[in-house]
Structure 1
Amino acid sequence: MTQNFYQIHGETRASRWVITVDHASNRVPEEVNGGDLGLAPADMQRHIAYDIGALGVALSLGELMDAPVVASDFSRLVIDPNRGEVDPTLIMRLYDGTLIPANAEIDVKEEQRRLETYYKPYNDAIERVASQRDDPIIVAMHSFSPRLNGKAPRPWEVAILHAAHDPRNLGPHVIERLREENDLTVGDNEPYHGHLPGDAVDRLALQMGRLNTLIELRQDLIINAKEQHAWATRLAPILNDALARSGY
């Protein structure tokens, strides 16, 4: 039996919005070194393995916006679906000071197997769901750690990553609307740069001429289901307002 390494929630929901969660899971499939990357269990609960809280926010947001949610079901340490196929960080050997033993001497055959088994089917699932809609809007949901190892604390509660040269980029409209919430410090292409050629938004939105935005939430604010739902409830009208302001 073929096993899918992604999940689709609400595929038949009616809205234009399509919510993606590239780093939804810390799962290591059994076929990858017996389901063990050689890390301690505590490391697999860290941000290096998945985007903590992002899936819960996305699922609540999907219900509120009548939008499908497409989520990966494998750890970003197995292969990162938010990287281009030739990106050297597609399969990480070292992440935030932590060595990934099972990836240290990975060969080309195993890299290709992971591409074909995990990365491409997830990518194809997003494309299938998006193509079922007229003028779909991609919302990529991510989360970021409050601080990286040895670095200063990150002050933003929420950040929007975007490509300035993308004519169908909703990012500036979302940022404008978020900054009207006077209790938020809003990152604009923080703590990461907003465009990486070949990444998921580039492949599935920018190159396809689709409206898009990428949302980053700080992980310590979305630890539990209550916090995740609260953020989804806050984001839903903000996204709808941003879309209305964009004129699309």
Structure 2
Amino acid sequence: MEAVPVRCPVCSRDHTYAAPAYPCPCGAPTAPPLRSGAPAVRVTHRAWNDDWVTVRCASCDRRDQWPQPELCCPCGAVLRIPVRPADAAAPSDATAPDTTAPPGPPAAPAHIPLPRTAAHPRPAFRPMAIRGGHDAVSAAGLYLTWLGYRDVVQPGTRPASGIDLRADGLVAQVDTAAAPTSLRAVECLWLNALGAAATGVFFSLAGYAADARARADGVGLPLFVLDLTGTPQPVNGAADELVSTGA
């Protein structure tokens, strides 16, 4: 698997990043080709078109839309990793002629989830601005509905468990505190989800402590950060998977 060095432009921490591979409909594992030496760009604003790239399967030459490779630095910055264009040759193949047939135009990202995902495409998410804690919970509820959860409801009074939103097979929590979400909060949601035989999803306005991130990664709990536009940003692999597959 191709790996490239990545330096965070915020804290100058060095990383090594390899793009995740996803199965093409032909069955071959396919990953976006990374541009070695190109600087990573910090994500400060989400736009649907920027979150997808066109990738060519080396086995069948199919072009599809795949998630833009991103890396979450421990400093809290989300970094977008540059990729080579779908029609660009890999460095080792630069002199080899391309004998494949020209592809048709790729479909729009909003209409092509990951190839293994189900069927109904989602339109672009329409966020609501966050001006307070209640807005943050409402924005998270809108996003969960957009992901495909039905009848997302907010308890009239917040229970001691901290659960802010529920749906069939779902419990979710929204942390509106100014400090990063703690390990304890992540573990409590995970345990509540286990007890309810449901999927747990966490939203935070201030990000997550490093140990909270590590625990969520270990148990497969999706973590999202909410910005003030009301657009949730996935910050771990489980969240990326949830965005790709939907409910």
TM-score normalized with structure 1 length = 0.24
More helix by share: 1
Larger Rg: 2
Bigger strand fraction? 2
In the superposition, the TM-score normalised over structure 2's length comes to 0.24
- Report 1 or 2 for greater relative contact order, CA contacts < 8 Å, sequence distance ≥ 6: 1
